[in-house]
Structure 1
Amino acid sequence: MKPVILRPRAVLFDCDGVLADSEALHNRIIAEEISALGWPMDAAEAERRFIGLSWRNIVPLVEARLGPGSVPADFVEGVIARVLRALHEQVVPVPGALDAVRAIVAAGIPVAVASNSSRLELTTKLHGLGLTELFRGRTFSYDDVAAPKPAPDMYRAAAASCGADPARCVVVEDSVTGSRAGVAAGCRVLGFAHATDPATLAAVGAQPFHDMRDLPGLLGLAEVVA
């Protein structure tokens, strides 16, 4: 007998690596910019060290390695400007993500997005993906909350924007940092394991899955119980 999957009251998405296939771009730029400060690294190391973290979390790590004052005051603004220039050229969706979001919306389930990106980065990505209207009024960046992921603030705010109890929301994440935020908010977390080891996601309370096209089924949209 199949387990009954309760229909979620809302689905709350991360952006990078879940909706936008932008992790490689971010990792390359982060690696180059931090290397220029004096901490040599490649994109793979940047991903390993910083996946899912906001700049609020990354800058102190760099200063801990290189020393106080090693990160210029305008460093983050410069990196964001470089990322935005790249995003304006093209934003590539994660395979299956756009169809999954549209299927969820078509089923009458509210959606929100919560990202450790800056507000400008998140807005640019959603515009490039053609998702601005679907998420309008329910988009949250690290600029919008007191504490970024792994704190639960962003997902609690996203649930509230959908008028939903976090306990009846599903979070879709691809990082340990984001999964911890979703669990701390009291949500069920589905961990998209394309860049992170599924066992690592499971260890922090996420349910790993491997293909975004499977998401509607994991939400019980074929056989839902209200």
Structure 2
Amino acid sequence: MREIVFDTETTGLDPRSGDRMVEIGCVEMVNRVATGATFHAYFNPQRDMPAGAEAVHGLSSTFLADKPLFAETAGELLEFLGDAPLVAHNASFDFGFLNTELEICQCEPVGLDRMVDTVAIARKRHPGAKLSLDALCNRYGVDRSHRVKHGALLDAELLAQVYVELTGGRQIGLELAAEANPVGQIADTPERGIGDKPLREARPHTASEVEIARHAAFVATIESPLWGQ
């Protein structure tokens, strides 16, 4: 199954009050494994960058001044997203900004039925625990030492790793390995063994007549057995 893990950076918290999206980062996953395909873009928000927002992601108005408008990149972004489910942390926030930008450039919004919220998943798995991306990285041992400030692509890459852990962790890889080499198939080597070791004939598992007789003699010596009551 193809899924897209994504994150956004913005000028503020509410697109309805005029805040805009200034960065998006997307990571493609197939069967919960990152394929290496990504989409990343910065956008000129056509407005100032509040100091509080800049302190979070480090994106200044000067840096964004020569970046394309969202409308110029919307087609490429939508092509990358396709019809895949979209995974985000506190997904209603990111969906709100994404769909606002799509509405501004008169594109169809992304359906909320495609939303996968890792905060909601984490809340069910770890009730009462801290649910920030940093906290979940710490819980699952995801290395975030290179995360000095928020960045959409970096955060999407971290979230992709957290998402795998939230939905089954490394067991997913074991299941895929089991499918690749189903139980009962013999290794394809000249000796039908493993590596350089030749195949050893299976040991007999049925008791011999002598063993059966010895067992019966032993059972006969047990006084008042439970199975005889």
Q: Which has the higher contact order (CA 8 A, sep 6+)?
A: 1
Question: What TM-score does the superposition give when structure 1 sets the normalisation length?
Answer: 0.31
Q: TM-score, normalised by structure 2?
A: 0.30
Point out the structure with the larger helix share: 1
Q: Report the structure, 1 or 2, having the larger strand content.
A: 2
Which has the greater radius of gyration?
Answer: 2
